[in-house]
Chains A and B, each alone.
Chain A
Amino acid sequence: MSFTFTPENIKTIAKLKTRYPKPQALSLPCLWMAQYQEGFISIDAIDVIAEVTETPAMEIYRVATFYSMFHLQPITKKRVMVCKTLSCKLCGSEEILAHLSKREDVLVEEVECLGSCGSAPVMQIDDLYYEDLTTQKVDAVLEQL
């Protein structure tokens, strides 16, 4: 179960190295690339990133665990991230969450403010936001996946 970056990512890494004063700065970009490649960040990927960034593997691990968007375990179901912070709560996120809790085909996660407070309630799936949610809209979005 070894890890290697795709040729395209290796090119990106080489380009990014010219953009930053030190290779350590590439730890977040590399963690992102690894996560897109494999769906999660494996221990093998951490070892490779440690080499690329010339940083101890333990430090990369510490970084990966600090940020909530990185996950170190494979995720088997579709993740649906629903904002639970104040503006969304005032605009009905609890109803959205209650509605979603009935579904077993998705992994519902409550997350903090997504910066969409003016179009609350909001959820994120993969890299996209779905705003001004109603329970009907949630169903329609999940239908399309």
Chain B
Amino acid sequence: MMRTCQIVSQKFAIEDAHTLSIAQEHGAYDTLAKCQEFTPLEMIQIIKESGLRGKGGGGAPAGAKWALMPQDSEQSSVLVVNCDESEPGTFKDRQIITKDPHLLIEGILLTCYAIKAQDAYVYIRGEYFQFQKVLQRAIDEAEEAGFLKNINITLHRGAGAYICGEKSALLESLEGKRGHPRLKPKQPEPEWYFGQPTLVNNVETIASVPFIIQNGAEAYRAFGTEKSPGTLLFAMSGHVQNPGVYEAEFGVSMMDYINHYGGGIKNGKALKAVIPGGASTGVITAKEAEEVTLDYEALRSMGSALGTGGMIVMDESTCMVSVLKNLLEFYHEESCGQCTPCREGTGWANTLLGKILNKRGSSADINQLLEIADTMNGKTICVFAPAVSSVIVSFLTGFRDEFEVMV
């Protein structure tokens, strides 16, 4: 029942697939000739039909975003690839840029063709410098081989700020400024980089494009579910026997995935909880994990989200109060500070959790946490604060008794 799927991980197990010669032996860049059969608009149509959804956490349909890019504008369009990968529990994009960087480059070239861009930037978190070097070498090789004649690919190193993964903060940072998210426009429109229309996509989204162009939209849709087509580099960390990144199609059962690839819970313990898709998705209980499938719709119906697909697995010995405290420390550290509810709310919730954890809290503090969560929901520039809010609520819904015995 666990079908092997290798759309982006096809070359992960091949030795030295990060080098051009080995990658080409396994088909790298074959789609560059193939894409000439299509006009840019036809390319966008194929991506739309494939149902490809953004893999950076939001799951937005990629085709619709591509279609927002002007095809005949005076200004040239820009592609920005998001490799900020700072969402706790997420470590998938680094697999692509180190194990199969040419797949990403090929995806960038196809995407640039479709949106008529000449400049592509890959924004990489500062800590990934060791992995950035592998990608840079691959770009140099591709350039020498003549694949980058019409397109500049520039790697841009971040410098330690989680919020720069948010696309508009990322663009601010790429413009040389502080990583402060921008106000969202009312109507759908492209992003803007120094006034140029810009497409921002996650590394894995772009790395999925070559398969779709090579094999067609239907071949992609053969994996996954009707509404969540295709695959994702799901990942597991925490209390699991074999943590790691394993590609699977959307719609598989969470527990089948954890047992099949992860070898189950570490040391034969029982499962207590899973944070399904990176630290800004709500926690679910073991019982919910037994029922849920790995797709956007199923996780949403549990009040959580699929996010980046990076599951953090927790066994029966885990103290959920200290887990939430750990997450609030992260959020408080990483709030960019522009919006008062976010800046103050993360700090205050962190303080209250510290109090509860030290057995100096009261039941009023638990209610206060929920009030803070309420204030943080929906009154801020970006969705960071609402995500924190939903995480707090999820812990107090699923594990309230653990908080109550501490006060």
Partner-B contacts on A (CB < 8 A): 16, 19-22, 24-29, 31-32, 53, 55, 59, 62-63, 66-70, 84-87, 89-91, 112-120, 124, 127-129
- Is B355 located at the chain interface by the 8 A CB criterion? no
- Whether the Cβ atoms of A66 and B179 lie closer than 8 Å is yes
- Whether the Cβ atoms of A85 and B160 lie closer than 8 Å is no
Partner-A contacts on B (CB < 8 A): 85-91, 94, 119, 125-130, 152, 154, 156-162, 173-179, 193-194, 196, 235-239, 243-245, 275, 279, 310, 312, 314, 318, 323, 326-327, 329-330, 333-334
- Whether the Cβ atoms of A113 and B88 lie closer than 8 Å is yes
C-alpha gap A116/B162 in the complex (Å): 15
- Whether the Cβ atoms of A28 and B179 lie closer than 8 Å is no
**The residue from A26, A28, A32, A86 contacting B323, defined by CB atoms under 8 A apart:** A86
Which residues on A sit within 8 Å (CB–CB) of B89? 86-87, 113, 117
C-alpha gap A63/B161 in the complex (Å): 11
Q: A29-B157, A118-B243 are in contact. Are A66 and B91 (CB under 8 A)?
A: no
- Whether the Cβ atoms of B237 and A118 lie closer than 8 Å is yes
**The residue from B94, B130, B312 contacting A86, defined by CB atoms under 8 A apart:** B312
- Whether the Cβ atoms of B176 and A128 lie closer than 8 Å is no
- Whether the Cβ atoms of A117 and B310 lie closer than 8 Å is yes
Instruction: Please name 11 further chain A to chain B contacts, defined as beta carbons within 8 Å, in addition to the given A22-B194, A112-B162, sorted by A numbering.
Output: A28-B157, A87-B88, A89-B326, A90-B318, A112-B330, A113-B89, A115-B86, A117-B310, A118-B236, A118-B244, A127-B130
Which residues on A sit within 8 Å (CB–CB) of B235? 117-118
Q: How far is the CB of B296 from chain A (nearest CB, A)?
A: 22
C-alpha gap A86/B324 in the complex (Å): 9
Which residues on B sit within 8 Å (CB–CB) of A62? 178
**The residue from A26, A53, A119, A124 contacting B243, defined by CB atoms under 8 A apart:** A119
Which residues on B sit within 8 Å (CB–CB) of A25? 174-176, 194
Q: Closest chain A residue to B162 by CB distance?
A: A112
Q: A91-B238, A118-B236 are in contact. Are A86 and B88 (CB under 8 A)?
A: yes
C-alpha gap A84/B194 in the complex (Å): 36
- Whether the Cβ atoms of B194 and A115 lie closer than 8 Å is no
**The residue from B152, B323, B333 contacting A112, defined by CB atoms under 8 A apart:** B333
Which residues on B sit within 8 Å (CB–CB) of A63? 176-178
C-alpha gap A70/B126 in the complex (Å): 10
Which residues on B sit within 8 Å (CB–CB) of A16? 154
- Whether the Cβ atoms of A22 and B130 lie closer than 8 Å is no
- Whether the Cβ atoms of B130 and A129 lie closer than 8 Å is yes
Interchain residue pairs with CB less than 8 A apart (24): A21-B193, A24-B176, A25-B175, A25-B194, A28-B173, A28-B176, A29-B157, A32-B159, A62-B178, A70-B160, A84-B329, A85-B279, A86-B238, A89-B326, A90-B238, A112-B86, A113-B89, A115-B86, A115-B127, A116-B91, A118-B237, A127-B129, A128-B130, A129-B130
